């Protein structure tokens, strides 16, 4: 290296201090020569796996860093370094994977890994206060993308080049994510596939890296560590805490050397002698002790018979012969005797008592929600008095199982017990169509399919199943349902809506009762109910195409431009219903609202005090709490303090930070102290949050009740999803009665979505964006067909390349691949066209035989140019894991009864097009849906007149929206659809669509009149 020995030695010392290691005093033999891993002189290319190379990754299109190899005069090694720039909102970084077709590397002979890092601080900061960078090793497994992940971190506390040395003993098994669910949880070092660096989110930055190499000689003694079962040990006053101390060795081999653990109770808020009996002593684990052996330390507490908050008793451990635990155990004497702890008192009194005891810092913590992966350490839950954690999409434990979720949530709740008042966390998750982050859960159809069912009872049952599965994993809060009214299907979130008609969205809000139970919240403490979050308030489904300023998004998070009348009728109406149904939380939209005629221009919803304070809380009487969306306050114009005070003063009660909880809590306290946020506003926010925590029973039962965990993904739950799938299928065309299929027919199945669980589940499934393939257990449509007709000959050729002769009927299942949020926006890499492969499959199969085409998608696909060649067309939406439900209607076990929840356009140029528009000429109108429930109705206009008379009677007796009323209109709809056939015109489509809207609003007679108008227009 072109540096003096003295400079290298000094910088290496800084690196050892950085990682917490101490320079060894032993110098019996010279250290081995370092082993180069990366010199960044051009020997390693930028390339994606399976080839060896450097590659970037991130949570969205803007998050992968930009890398380059650059020549630098100050390069610590050689003449070039790796440089990069980043601006990460979620997560992002880069990896070096070794070639998959060559043997893994063996690093067992080395002590650790080191590299030169160019510090970006303009002035030196105290160690540990700079930006945190995570460094990860890829160990074992088949290759670098199917290996076990081990992680540690360092902080960038210097300016200029410094050498970071990380002993392998510092790496911990990554608990939040493992690509293969983990292998053996042993850092073997004999099968290394590369490394990765995760860069800090929240603000732009740059970095430079050079000279990655292995250093030192392996230290076998450090393969042994001392662990405690938990860090926090709550105990009732007068009880005795048992602190379990164990030894563990790499490979689970017996101890090669003795290990001694000395201990003593020191410090804390409890008083030695008065509150507990001090303990000191030592534990010895002799050589030969089996790995996993444990001893216990007893800490006895005393009763003083006075009501008080929780008190802490740290137990300080000192270890020789092994690596010490990362944290010392902490015994906590539970809070007791205080009014807020009394479950017999009314919730309002409990809230008032607790609120009166809290400091500003504790209140600020309650208003803070952090993403679990953003925690610098689990101890920050108590240090910052955090009120909430969440799992973002794909933020899962390892392994991703229900029991692992419950254990993870419990571990976080346990940390909250170390706070003064032991206020439990409220953990949240986006379970938007079932407990969709959990492998093996029941994945329901997305909301667009539930809307197609037109069945409020189905919506309620799916909500109840979702709540059971979510609560069984210890999570009491679901960021659902989405009550958006999708007005432009170019929007990447349109499948999260129940439909384009606010009356349909309102009708499906029975899902709230399925999730929460009674409207007054009295069921929330049950082990099968969760707190809901009505989102996104208000107008997120109405954003104008091209108005988004978020990254490459075209419509998501854009501007909704509406008249005051349209705002009330279309976008606010579903939230008024949610408040009536008792939704416990409301989440504002990322989007901006521009009410035409008020001369205010667009206002970010997270800053819209008129809507949140004025309309939601005051006019509608919403008494739950308002939670922000992910890092959404950062989009408010102004600096960060302005973002905080504007959003809180506008009525936000809890902020989904989600990564920068340190700055948020500090800023919030500063704004209150300076008088820019009133203390009464803080007290109102915290009272609202505490109210829901008390209603959920979290103070009495903060930990997971796993008695229902066996029901996750159960046959009973899947049966509910299967019914919802069947009822969501919309039969758009059925020339010659192709459907239902006969079990005697020879069927040729093709298309990209016939046999793909990931595609039929869509986004928000296991990961945020979802992915193709078998991501979770379930039944594909092809598998469902084969189960429904086990004796039938059912051939499958994804691309229709197999011979097509000899078959009675073809079923081509086409559509979209998964996406979520703005990544799905049309114009952002997506459109409404089928892929070339899907078009070719449709063309080939439908030219060769009678065919049915199923469109599995989150929104309509443009198929008009092929409609003439297609005998039967089905909108299958995104059915989730239960492909059996699709097979049920294909083979007639259940009838087709679904109706379009959105208008099916003829072209993208028609968008936006919605029921009620003055110009309305779609491919298929809103509400369209043929049925196989009964034979084609007869009677024509005379039958419609008779139906109109019956409708007047039902409506006059208050039964306009009853099951009888819906059945009556279904008969009328069938008469009209038979008359119209495939000759949909503007004259028939407009009144047909409006009839369904009128039915949903209770105007049964008006609906029949519209259908008569459509019938007459059909000629």
Q: Which residues are catalytic?
A: 629, 821
| C-alpha span between 393 and 91 (Å, rounded) | 12
| C-alpha span between 387 and 385 (Å, rounded) | 6
* Nearest of 965, 928, 996 to residue 504 by alpha carbon: 996
Tell me the C-alpha to C-alpha distance, in Å, between residue 179 and each of 51, 57, 79, 170, 244.
18, 14, 36, 21, 31
* Nearest of 890, 889, 855 to residue 875 by alpha carbon: 855
Q: Cα–Cα–Cα angle for 226, 228, 233, nearest 5°?
A: 155
Which strand (E) or helix (H) includes residue 749? strand 747-750
| C-alpha span between 941 and 972 (Å, rounded) | 9
The contacts of residue 28 (CB under 8 Å, 6+ apart) are none
| C-alpha span between 12 and 946 (Å, rounded) | 91
Please spell the DSSP secondary structure of 44-101, one letter per residue: S-B--TTSSEEEEEESSTT-SPEEEEEE-TT-SSSSEEEEEEE--SS-EEEEEEPPTT
| C-alpha span between 693 and 477 (Å, rounded) | 10
Q: What's the DSSP call for residue 754?
A: T
| C-alpha span between 881 and 884 (Å, rounded) | 9
In this structure, are residues 144 and 194 in contact, taking their beta carbons and an 8 Å threshold?
yes
Which strand (E) or helix (H) includes residue 855? strand 850-856
| C-alpha span between 730 and 898 (Å, rounded) | 4
In this structure, are residues 559 and 613 in contact, taking their beta carbons and an 8 Å threshold?
no
In this structure, are residues 149 and 136 in contact, taking their beta carbons and an 8 Å threshold?
yes
Please spell the DSSP secondary structure of 951-979, one letter per residue: HHHHHHTT-TTSHHHHHHHHHHHHHHHHH
Peptide bond into 912 cis (omega under 30): yes
The contacts of residue 22 (CB under 8 Å, 6+ apart) are 16
| C-alpha span between 634 and 791 (Å, rounded) | 59
In this structure, are residues 766 and 439 in contact, taking their beta carbons and an 8 Å threshold?
yes
Peptide bond into 542 cis (omega under 30): no
Helix (H), strand (E) counts: the chain? 24, 37
| C-alpha span between 718 and 634 (Å, rounded) | 40
| C-alpha span between 232 and 418 (Å, rounded) | 7
* Nearest of 853, 814, 753, 879 to residue 449 by alpha carbon: 879
Q: Strand 280-285's sheet: what is its strand order?
A: 232-235, 330-333, 311-320, 259-265, 280-285
Tokens of 289: 């002790």
């Amino acid at each position: 290296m072109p540096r003096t020995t003295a400079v290298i030695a000094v910088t290496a010392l800084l690196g050892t201090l950085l990682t917490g290691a101490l320079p060894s005093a032993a110098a019996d033999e010279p250290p081995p020569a370092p082993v180069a891993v990366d010199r960044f002189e051009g020997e390693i290319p930028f390339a994606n796996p399976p080839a060896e190379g450097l590659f970037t990754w991130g949570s969205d299109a803007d998050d992968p860093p930009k890398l380059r190899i650059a020549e630098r005069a100050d390069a610590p090694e050689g003449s070039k370094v790796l440089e990069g720039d980043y601006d990460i909102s979620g997560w992002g970084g880069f990896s070096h994977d070794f070639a998959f077709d060559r043997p893994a590397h063996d690093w067992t002979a080395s002590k650790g890994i080191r590299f030169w890092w160019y510090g970006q601080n303009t002035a030196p900061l105290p160690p540990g206060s700079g930006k945190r960078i995570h460094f990860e090793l890829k160990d074992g497994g088949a290759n670098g993308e199917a290996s076990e992940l081990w992680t540690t971190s360092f902080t960038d506390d210097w300016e200029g080049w410094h050498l970071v040395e990380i002993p392998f003993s510092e790496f911990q098994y990554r608990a939040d994510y493992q690509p293969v669910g983990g292998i053996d949880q042993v850092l073997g070092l004999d099968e290394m596939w590369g490394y990765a660096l995760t860069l800090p989110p929240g603000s732009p930055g740059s970095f430079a890296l050079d000279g990655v190499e292995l250093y030192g000689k392996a230290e076998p003694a450090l393969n042994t560590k001392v662990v405690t079962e938990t860090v926090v040990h709550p105990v009732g006053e007068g009880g005795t805490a048992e602190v379990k101390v164990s030894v563990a060795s790499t490979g689970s081999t017996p101890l090669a050397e003795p290990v001694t653990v000395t201990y003593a109770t020191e410090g804390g808020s409890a008083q030695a002698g008065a509150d507990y009996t001090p303990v000191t002593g030592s534990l010895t684990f002799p050589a030969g002790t089996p790995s996993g052996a444990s001893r216990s330390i007893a800490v006895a507490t005393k009763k003083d018979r006075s009501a008080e908050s929780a008190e802490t008793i740290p137990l300080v451990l000192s270890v020789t012969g092994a690596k010490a635990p990362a944290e010392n155990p902490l015994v906590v004497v539970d809070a007791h005797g205080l009014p807020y702890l009394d479950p017999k008192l009314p919730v309002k009194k409990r809230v008032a008592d607790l609120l009166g005891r809290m400091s500003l810092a504790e209140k600020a913590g309650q208003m803070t929600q952090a993403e679990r992966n953003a925690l610098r350490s689990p101890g920050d839950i108590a240090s910052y008095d955090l009120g909430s954690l969440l799992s973002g999409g794909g933020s899962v434990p390892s392994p991703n199982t229900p029991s692992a979720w419950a254990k993870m949530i419990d571990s976080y709740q346990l940390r909250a017990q170390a706070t003064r008042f032991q206020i439990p966390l409220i953990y949240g998750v986006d379970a938007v169509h079932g407990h969709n982050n959990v492998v093996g859960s029941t994945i329901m159809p997305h909301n667009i399919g539930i809307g197609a069912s037109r069945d409020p009872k189905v919506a309620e049952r799916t909500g109840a199943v979702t709540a059971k599965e979510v609560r069984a994993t210890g999570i009491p809060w679901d960021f659902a349902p989405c009550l958006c009214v999708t007005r432009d299907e170019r929007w990447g979130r349109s499948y999260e809506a129940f439909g384009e008609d606010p009356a349909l969205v309102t009708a499906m809000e029975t899902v709230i009762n399925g999730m929460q139970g009674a409207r007054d919240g009295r069921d929330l403490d049950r082990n099968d109910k969760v707190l809901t979050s009505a989102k996104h308030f208000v107008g997120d489904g109405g954003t104008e195409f091209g108005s988004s300023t978020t990254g490459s998004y075209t419509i998501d998070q854009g501007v909704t431009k509406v008249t005051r009348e349209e705002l009330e009728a279309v976008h606010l109406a579903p939230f008024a219903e949610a408040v009536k149904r008792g939704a416990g939380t409301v989440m504002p939209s990322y989007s901006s609202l521009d009410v035409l005629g008020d001369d205010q221009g667009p206002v970010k919803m997270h800053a819209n005090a008129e809507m949140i304070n004025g309309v939601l809380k005051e006019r509608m009487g919403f008494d739950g709490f308002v939670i922000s969306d992910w890092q959404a306050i950062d989009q408010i114009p102004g600096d960060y303090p302005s973002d905080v005070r504007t959003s809180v003063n506008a009525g936000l009660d809890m902020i989904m930070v989600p990564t920068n909880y340190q700055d948020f809590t500090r800023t919030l306290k500063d704004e209150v102290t300076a008088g820019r946020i009133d203390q009464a506003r803080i007290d109102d926010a915290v009272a609202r949050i505490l109210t829901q925590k008390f209603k959920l029973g979290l103070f009495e039962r903060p930990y997971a009740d796993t008695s229902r965990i066996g029901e996750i993904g159960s046959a009973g739950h899947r049966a509910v999803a299967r019914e919802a799938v069947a009822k969501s299928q919309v039969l758009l065309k059925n020339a010659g009665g192709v459907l239902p299929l006969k079990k005697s027919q020879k069927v040729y199945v093709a298309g990209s979505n016939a046999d793909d669980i990931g595609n039929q589940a869509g986004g928000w499934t296991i990961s945020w964006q979802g992915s193709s393939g078998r991501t979770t257990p379930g039944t594909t449509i092809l598998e469902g067909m084969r189960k429904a007709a086990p004796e039938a000959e059912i051939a499958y050729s994804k691309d229709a390349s197999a011979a097509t002769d000899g078959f009675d009927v073809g079923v081509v299942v086409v559509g979209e691949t998964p996406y979520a949020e703005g990544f799905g926006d049309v114009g952002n890499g997506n459109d409404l066209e089928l892929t070339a492969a899907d078009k070719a499959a449709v063309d080939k199969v439908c030219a060769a035989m009678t065919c049915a085409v199923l469109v599995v998608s989150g929104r309509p696909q443009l198929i008009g140019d092929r409609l003439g060649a297609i005998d039967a067309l089905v909108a299958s939406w995104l059915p989730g894991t239960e492909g059996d439900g699709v097979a049920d209607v294909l083979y007639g076990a259940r009838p087709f009864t679904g109706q379009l929840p959105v208008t099916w356009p003829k072209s993208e140029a028609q968008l936006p097009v919605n029921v009620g528009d003055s110009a309305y000429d779609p491919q298929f109108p809103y509400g369209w849906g043929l049925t196989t429930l009964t034979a084609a109705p007869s009677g024509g206009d005379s039958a419609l007149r008779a139906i109109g008379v019956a409708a007047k009677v039902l409506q006059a007796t208050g039964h306009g929206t009853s099951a009888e009323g819906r059945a009556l209109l279904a008969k009328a709809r069938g008469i009209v659809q038979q008359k119209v056939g495939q000759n949909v015109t503007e004259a028939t489509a407009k009144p047909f669509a409006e009839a369904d809207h009128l039915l949903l609003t209770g105007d049964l007679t008006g609906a029949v009149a519209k259908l008569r108008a459509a019938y007459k227009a059909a000629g």
